[in-house]
Amino acid sequence: MTNALSVALTIAGSDCSAGAGIQADLKTFQHFQVHGLTAVTCVVSETANQVRAVHPVPAEIVRNQMALLLESFPISAVKTGMLFSAAHVVAVAEILRHYPLIPIVVDPVMIASTGTSLLEPEAIDAYRELLLPLARVITPNLPEAEALLGEAIPHEPALESAARRLADQFRTAILLKGGHLEGAECVDLLVDHGTVHRFSAARISVPGSHGTGCTLSAAITAALATGESLPQAVEIAKNYLGLTLRHSYQFQAPRGGTVHALNQGTRFPKNEA
């Protein structure tokens, strides 16, 4: 019997609080009925409120996970999340360059929502030189885009110029996420083959944003895996992220903090999906 499910691979860190990282990716893949595979790069001791420790998986183990999965499954799309070090970026790029027909979504995870660095500084050059040129789309938030450009993006009118320069620099599509800017709306810009697509959504008040970047890029990956075009995949992902935020929840931690998670189950009414 043949299984018609599409397959997607996430290469990312493990978040023990399950709000971000591979846990968020798998929840998202499941929602879109895409079979999710994982290559774990780091084990992160974190909640929405703090990153206590990062435990990197040896780069060779990451390489072995990826090679086995790519040899064994009909993978239709790949997402990279937290890679942590230059050695991890090199290992991932060396494997993925042998699969040019598989669309790659690169979420250049650099800083946690708590402000903790999740990427060693020397890894940025490896990203620029080896991994970003392989991507079908790169999904930086403003701080990540500023790190890649080496300059500030101070306001919404600067988004398009920044996105176009990143797209030209890495010769790929850029989804520049403007959620860090102030305003009643969150504006994201997709530059794809020279065309700009604008996605705007009302800002949703939630206890925190832990896992939103992972969820968005995973939803894009799932949509690409099922054959959607990139602009359509981004639209689907944006709608899904808004849905999860509207149904978000929080837990009271023993010492008074909160853990914010995205409710990504399939219990939502079909007309909201």
Locate the domains of the chain by residue range. 6-272
pLDDT at 260: 58
Residue 42 pLDDT > 80: yes
Looking at residue 271, its pLDDT comes to: 40
In this predicted structure, what is the pLDDT of residue 108?
93
Residue 150 exposed, middle or buried by CB count within 10 Å (0-12, 13-18, 19+): exposed
Residue 52 has pLDDT above 50, yes or no: yes
pLDDT-based confidence at residue 269 (cuts at 50, 70, 90): very low
Handedness of CA 89, 174, 244, 36 (dihedral sign): negative
Q: What fold characterizes domain 6-272?
A: UDP-N-acetylmuramoyl-L-alanine:D-glutamate ligase (3.40.1190)
Task: Give residue 113's pLDDT band: very low, low, confident or very high (50, 70, 90).
Answer: low
What is the mean predicted confidence (pLDDT) over 56-60? Answer: 97
CA distance 96 to 100: 7
Under the banding of pLDDT at 50, 70 and 90, the label for residue 273 is very low
Q: Looking at 1-10, 18-27, 34-43, 111-120, which range is the least confident one?
A: 111-120
Determine the average pLDDT of the residues in 157-183.
88
- Among candidates 157, 196, 153, which has minimal Cα distance to 174? 196
